[in-house]
Amino acid sequence: MIIPRIGATELILILGLLLVIFGPKRLPEVGRSLGKTLREFRKSTKETDEPIELAAAEKVDQNGEPAKS
């Protein structure tokens, strides 16, 4: 996954555009809803990974070798 590096100039430009588009009164509301969305997304991805990790742990014995059936 390639993540572009955002410098200070780009960040100021993005924040300025958001301020113009949404206005100073709605900007905190938009930020709050974005934070909640990201939190829920991380929580749901963490919950889906847990069963996979548990299943993988059950298939390995104490020595780290695959368990014999």
User: Considering the entire predicted model, what is its pTM?
Assistant: 0.49
Domains of the chain, by residue range, sit at: 26-59
Q: Rounded CA gap, 44 and 23, in Å? A: 31
Q: Rounded CA gap, 3 and 46, in Å? A: 21
Six token digits for residue 23: 């206005």
* Helix residue spans in 1-69 (DSSP H): 8-58
C-alpha 18, offset from chain centre: 21
Residue 37 has a pLDDT of 94
Residue 64 has a pLDDT of 59
Q: What is the mean pLDDT of the chain?
A: 79
**Which distant-in-sequence residues (6+ apart) come within 8 Å of 60 by Cβ?**
66, 67
